[in-house]
Structure 1
Amino acid sequence: MSLGERVQGMVELTRFGNTVAAGVLTFTGAFIAGFSAGDALAVVAAVVATVCATGAGNAINDYFDRDIDAINRPDRPIPRGAVTAREALWFSIALFLGAVVAAVTLPVLAIAIAVVNLLALVAYTQLFKGLPGVGNVVVGYLTGSTFLFGGAAVGDPLGSLVLAVLAGLATLTREIIKDVEDIAGDEEEGLRTLPIVVGERPALWVGAVVLAVAIVASAIPYVNGDFGLAYLGLVLPADAIMVGASVQSFSDPSAGQRRIKYGMYLAAVAFIAGRGASIVGITG
């Protein structure tokens, strides 16, 4: 492999799009929590920590999952030979160190969230992934906590709590659907994921119920009067996309889990719009 192919492989290890999205979610959490110009450095540090930690978590996951990926995802960097397993391991360590350096500049609560998340990322594949539903809950927590982390960076983690809950529950549903999609490789490795233990359709129904709770939670900012019509006009389509994705997952899990991700992003935009409208005094 050439140097360019190796660099490309390392970028792919981080799931670059998802990693950047995680940084955007942290910024969103800070924005919704009401950051000011004086918080700019803290927000930048939080975003950098999130990007590094997410990239590191994805890389270490590929390191531990290299045998499963040879079955489920043979196009990923390690199975196709773009990056060696050892290179992936050291790359993930370097990114984890970058996350630590950025995080230690933040308030104590933000550091505490970062420590918990870093430990969860490292332990995920070896301890949690193969336990029915537990690995899914961990990934859901990690996604939701990006918003709490952004809020904590500016001193108000609860300012983004509803969005964190919505994102965490929607991610839990998406992870269950992804386990249905990956069932062949997971069975080969002897993992005990939720669809392997309870069956594919019961697992998908669990995901649908969890998603329903997330959709109910999405109404709270409007019902409480925190956000107005700008929020409602975007969160309702986001909810509709996620409901449609949950239904689709029963026939096409791969397409269903992708559509849930799009709905989650639109829901995050709804919170940004709601917060922005409240800043300029627009209500509904």
Structure 2
Amino acid sequence: MTAGETIRGVLELTRPVNVIAASVLTFIGAFVAGGVTAEPIAVAAAVGATALAVGAGNAINDYFDREIDRINQPDRAIPRGAVSPRGALAFSIVLFLGAVVLALTLPSLAIAIATINLVALVAYTKVFKGLPGLGNALVAYLVGSTFLFGAAAVGTVGDVGAAAVLFLLAAVATLTREIIKDVEDVEGDREEGLNTLPIAIGERRALVLAIALLILAVLASPIPYALEYFGIAYLLVVVPADAIMLYAAYESFDDPTAGQSHLKYGMFFAALAFIVGRAALAVPTIG
């Protein structure tokens, strides 16, 4: 195994797309709270802590899941031999320590959220992942909480209504994707004795539940506009994002792998809608 392949494997452990997406959500939380220009150092620390924590959580998840991944995801870094299990564990610990150092520079509310989330990231695979629906809900909370973490990092949760809406929308969309991912991994999970939601209630019923949850999230997505948190610019971006996510959920019935992957990009596009919506409020009107 060459050094280049090892470096590539280490980067893959972090799931760069997930790291970027979570970091953006944290930034949005701070942005909505109005702290990006007022507290730039705190925002940078919060975004950095999020990136390191998510990367660490993904790496340690791959460490614990290495046997399952030999069946479900043989091309991942550990199963294909790019990174050793011990190396993945050491890498995750370094990232966790970096996240802790950055989080400790933030206000107490942000530290509290970070502490809960770090414990949840470590406990997820060993404690919650095999429990039908509960592991999915924990991941959904973690993604949604990045909005609250970003707001808390600038010293306040800001507009509580806006923060709550962002948290709920992100959490529900993530819960949908997590259920679809469990359908994708059902063969290996069953062999390892895990009792995930698709195994407990059936794959088709799990997918129907996932789509029902996503439809609720899509129906709720105009709420920030209706409550005047954001203007028309938000709707112009969130509507196509909704369309992408709905198509991805429908696609998951035939191809769960493609469905959950496309849903992830739809979620990222939806996150962009919040940036556009909030930025448009700062643009002065003419006349």
TM-score (norm 2): 0.95
Judge which range, 163-172 or 92-101, deviates more.
Answer: 163-172
Aligned residues: 283
Deviation at 1:282, TM superposition (A): 5.3
2:198 is the alignment partner of 1:206: no
Residue in 2 that maps onto 1:2: 2
AA aligned to 1:237 is P
What is aligned with 2:149? Answer: 149
Task: Structure 1 unaligned segments of length 5 or more: list them.
Answer: none
Deviations 1:150-207 (A, max 9, x none): 1111133334321221111101000100100111110111000000010001101111
How far is the alpha carbon of 1:216 from its aligned partner? 2.4
Structure 1: distance between partners of 2:29 and 2:50: 12
Q: Is the 8 A contact 2:145 2:167 kept in 1?
A: yes
Q: Is there any run of 5+ residues in structure 2 with no aligned partner, and where?
A: none
Matched, 1:174 2:160: no
Q: Secondary structure at the match of 1:79?
A: coil
Tell me the equivalent position of 1:133.
Answer: 133
Q: Distance in 1 between matches of 2:76 and 2:258?
A: 19
| Alignment check: 8 A CA contact 1:165 1:217 kept | no
**Contact 1:238 1:264 survives alignment (8 Å):** yes
The 3 A distance-change label for structure 1 pair 119 and 282 is farther
Pairwise CA distance, 1:281: 4.1
- What is the aligned counterpart of 1:186 among 181, 186, 189? 189
Aligned partners of 2:25 and 2:271: how far apart in 1? 8
Measure how far apart 1:20 and its partner are. 2.2
Whole-angstrom distance in 1 between the partners of 2:146 and 2:203: 29
Q: Measure how far apart 1:3 and its partner are.
A: 2.6
> Residue 11 of structure 1: CA displacement?
1.1
Give runs of ≥4 in structure 1 deviating > 4 Å.
Answer: none
Q: Which amino acid aligns with 2:243?
A: A
Matches within 5 A, 1:88-167: 88-157=88-157, 158=160, 159-167=162-170
Q: Which amino acid aligns with 1:52?
A: L
Deviations 1:13-41 (A, max 9, x none): 11122212221221122112211423000
Identity %: 63
> Which of residues 242, 248, 260 is equivalent to 2:245?
242
The one-letter code sitting in structure 2 at the alignment partner of 1:54 is: V
The 3 A distance-change label for structure 1 pair 282 and 263 is farther
**1:80 maps to what in 2?**
80
Is 1:216 aligned to residue 222 of structure 2? no
Paired amino acid for 1:16: P
CA contact (8 A) 2:55 2:92 kept: yes
Q: TM-score, normalised by structure 1?
A: 0.96
**Equivalences for 1:255-266 in 2 at 5 Å?**
255-266=258-269
Alpha-carbon RMSD across the aligned residues, in angstroms, is: 1.4
Give 2:134's aligned amino acid.
Answer: V
